[in-house]
Amino acid sequence: MASLIEQCALCLHVKELRHSHLLPAGVWRLSRDPSRRVDPNPVVVKTGKAFTTSRQVSASLLCGDCENRFSKNGERYVLSQCARPNGQFLLREALEIATSVIQDGELRVYDASAVLGSAREQYLYFAASVFWRASVRSWSFGGQRLQALNFGAACQEEFRQYLYGGDSGFPSKARLFVHVSSDPRIDMTSVFPCAFRMESAWRYKFYIPGILFILFLGADVPEKYDALALNGEAGSFIWLCPWENDSLFRGFDKRMRQAVRSHGLARRGGRMAG
């Protein structure tokens, strides 16, 4: 395949572009089932259809330097902390031995600065990189377009400058929440970024095994959604909670079960949804 020389979406320099992934390639590897030697690839659920594939959602977007920047500043570390097929889940293990600042039934909230230390920045950066990737271009998979995230030009530029490493911090009108699953069994499922319109803000979500990232964006967000966010002005927090009532999982679980069952793939473990 011939090299593509164009402007990198992050650094804005004209360079040779890499084949960039919407969700990191490591997420896809977590969803594979090596015990199935004939076809270990994950089940992809899209618009009611279920199929296995080794293909990933990718496009020419970033140069090699910016790909490395994403890996170094968040991607590599966060993927090492999420749930693994062997049952290991380092982030949850760290929370379970820490002291929560809030406990309400099965919900626990922790001081992220105390539990994560400087690694807190890795989660902020990783989440921002995925949400920004979903907003900066149209992505497609299997001939169908995935839901686009529309940040608006000004906000999208704020995210770009933050990710590129300039003087600007995390966008001021954005608040990120990180929810860690307390469910005993965690499927190796991932969900591509998706958008929900709220009354005075947009809410965006994506999921990698065991960790749900929720971004609120809008003029009123610093006032209405600051409490208990990872980047809140009043503190930095991370949640440990069950997900059976989360809107993202209620909707996608229903779609997954219907599509996977109808296509005779119900016994497979890893899934990707969009």
Tokens matching residue 224:
């209405």
Question: From CA 185, how far away is CA 178, in angstroms rounded?
Answer: 19
Q: Is 61 exposed, middle or buried (0-12, 13-18, 19+ CB in 10 A)?
A: buried
C-alpha distances in angstroms, 191 versus 3, 7, 109, 200, 273? 30, 28, 23, 24, 5
* Interval 86-135: pLDDT, tens: 999 999 999 999 999 999 999 999 999 999 999 999 999 999 999 999 99
Question: From CA 199, how far away is CA 177, in angstroms rounded?
Answer: 18
pLDDT score at 56: 79
pLDDT score at 27: 87
pLDDT of 260 above 80: no
Instruction: Give the Cα-Cα-Cα angle 231, 118, 93 (nearest 5 degrees).
Output: 90
C-alpha distances in angstroms, 103 versus 99, 150, 236, 243? 10, 35, 16, 16
* Interval 72-90: pLDDT, tens: 999 999 999 999 989 999 9
For residue 45, count other CB atoms closer than 10 A to its CB. Answer: 24
For residue 146, count other CB atoms closer than 10 A to its CB. Answer: 18
Q: For the chain, give me the number of helices (H) and strands (E)?
A: 9, 15
Domains in the chain: boundaries: 5-273
Q: How confident is the model at residue 267 (pLDDT cuts 50, 70, 90)?
A: very low
pLDDT of 37 above 70: no
* Residue of 177, 179, 178, 175 lying closest to 106 (CA atoms): 179
